[in-house]
Amino acid sequence: MHDPPSRRGFLNATLALGTAVAAGCSALPPSDDSGQSSEEPTPTEQSTPTEQPTPTPEPTQTPTEDPSLPELGTDFETDASGDGIPDLLVEHIADEEGLDEINPYRKNVLVEVDRVEGVAAEETLSFARSVFADAPVENPDGSTGIDVHFVVSSPIPEVESNASVLRDYHFGRDRTSMFERRHRGFRHLVVLDDLSTGWYADPWVLAVESGQGGRLVDALAAHLAGRFDPLLGAESEGPGDATTDQLWLPGAEDATADQLHEAIDWDLVAEHLPATTPSLQYYERKYAHLPEDSEVPPPDATADDLGPAVGDPEKDTSGDGFTDEELLEADAFAAFEPDPLRKNVFVEVDYQEGLSREIVEKRMQEIQDVFANGPVRNPDGSMGIDVHYVISNEITFDGSVRTDDLDAFRTEHFDHLLEGFFYMIFVDDVEDDRLGNLLGVAGHQGNLIFTQPSPSTPLHELGHSLGLYATRPGVDQREYSFREYPSAMNYNSPRHALVFASEGGDPITPNDWAIMERLLSDEQPNNSLLL
C-alpha cells in the first residue's frame, strides 16, 4: 500500500534539503593533498586488529544443485513445472505475498480465500492442501503432487448464501476490494457457512461450504482442469450444483483422500493447469526489467530525479501527462497531495438533485480501488494509478439529460475547467436522439462524462475517456463473451463487473491496462490554467 499524503510531504522536504545542499550547506572536514581527512586517530583511538569470522555462505536452493533438473528460465515464457507461473516470478511472488518458499520444480496453485465472518476455514483448507500435495501428478524434480498456497484474507460480512450473491461479491457490487489479488495469478475461493447448491464455480470464482474438504478438492480440481470454462471445452457452462457432471464425485461432499485420488482425472488437471492460471500481468509489469533481454529500465526513480530537483520544469517523471512541478505546486491539486513518482488522474464530480451522495461516493471509491490495484508500473517501482476525485455540486434540472446538453453543463458547472480534471456528472437518465436512452456517455473529447450510478457504468465511461474507444475490438460490442474479454468495456459483462482486462482468451487478447498506460499522457484533459 502507498500513502500519497505523507509521500508528498517527504518529497517536498527532500527537494528542500537538496536545495540546501546545493547551496553549500555542508560540514565536511578539511582534506590534505592526498584527498584524505587531515584528522588522524590518536593511538588510543586506533583499534586492535581482530580475526574476522568466516562468512556464512548464502543458502542455495536444492533443486539448482541437481544437474538432472532443467535450468530455470530467465524470461516470462519459461515455466519448468508447467503450472502457468514463469520461473522468473516464482520467488518474487512468494516474497510479496508472504508465502513459504515456492518450489519452481513443483506445480503450484495460488488461491486467495475469503470467508464469511465467523466461519472456520482452516481445517477445510488443510485437508485440500494435503490431498493436492499427494496427488498423482508428476513434477520435473521427480516428486508428485501439486502445492496449493492459500492466502486467507480478512473475514467478510455475513451474506446470503446463493450463487448470485457470490457473483456480485466477486465482481464488486458490495465490496470492490474483496478480491485483492486480481491480475496476480490467484484464483478466488469463498468459504461460506451454508450454500444452497452446496458449491459454486465459474472461470473466476469458486465457493464451498466450510467443513466440506472433499467437495473443495473436487471442485478446485475441476476448476484447474477448466471444466467450468467454455473456452477449454467445459462440459457445462452454467453454475454448478450437485446434479451436474462437472465434479468427479458430485454426491460426495466428504470424500476421502483415497477416493479423490482415484476419481479425479489428474492428467486433465495437469494438462489444463497452465491455461487456467489467472493473469499474472501485475507481476509481469512490476518485474518487466528482469528478463535478460529486457529493454525496460529498473524502476528506481526517487525524489532526486524529479523536475524541480534537476532543474527541468517540463519533466514528467511518471508519464501521466502532468509535469512534476504541476503536481507539486498547482493549487488545484494541493488538497490531493499527488505523488509525482506515480501516475495520477483527477476527476471533478457533480450529481443530479435527488440522487444519493452516498452512492456517488461509493462509485468513486470503487473506481479509485480498481485503478489503485491495476497492473500499471510506476517509475519508483510501485503499482497502480492514483485516481483523485472531488464531489462538488448537486445540480438541479428537470427530466432526462440529453447529450446535446454536454457543453452547457460543462460551461456552467465545471469548477476545474482547463485544470487537468475529467468532469463526471451522475444523473438519473441520459437520452440521445440517435441512440435513445443510455446508461452513460463520454463526450467532449472524453473529458465530460454523464453516467447513471449503476456499478460498472462510471468505470466504463472513464475507460472511454482514458483511451478505450469503441473502435477497439470488444469495446462497446457483444461480439465476445465476458470470458473472452473480461472487461467492464464489454457489453456482455455483468453489471457489477468492476474490472478492466489485463489478458483475454482466444480469439482476442485485449489488454485494457496496457492501452490506458500507453495513452494516459495524451488523454489527460487540458491543463493550461494549472500554473
In the sheet with 205-209, reading across from the earlier edge strand, the strands are 146-152, 107-115, 186-192, 205-209, 199-201
3-class SS shares of the chain: helix, strand, coil, % to 5: 30, 15, 55
**Tens-digit pLDDT profile for residues 285-316:** 999 999 989 999 999 999 999 999 999 999 99
Query: Same CATH topology for 67-282 and 304-523?
Result: yes
Predicted pLDDT of residue 447: 57
Residue 259 CA from chain centroid, whole number: 37
pTM exceeds cut of 0.75 = yes
Predicted pLDDT of residue 21: 30
Opening angle at CA 273, ends 484 and 290, nearest 5? 85
Q: What is the domain partition of the chain in residue ranges?
A: 67-282, 304-523
Q: Which CATH architecture has domain 304-523?
A: 3-Layer(aba) Sandwich (3.40)
CATH 3.40.390 fits 67-282, yes or no: yes
The stretches in the chain having pLDDT less than 50 are 1-64, 161-164, 167-177, 234-244, 433, 435-438, 444, 446, 505-506
Predicted pLDDT of residue 402: 65
Q: Which residue has the cell 491539486?
A: 333
d(CA 193, CA 216): 13
Predicted pLDDT of residue 325: 97
Predicted pLDDT of residue 354: 84
Coil, strand or helix: which one is 161? coil
Nearest to 217 by CA among 250, 170, 242, 169: 250
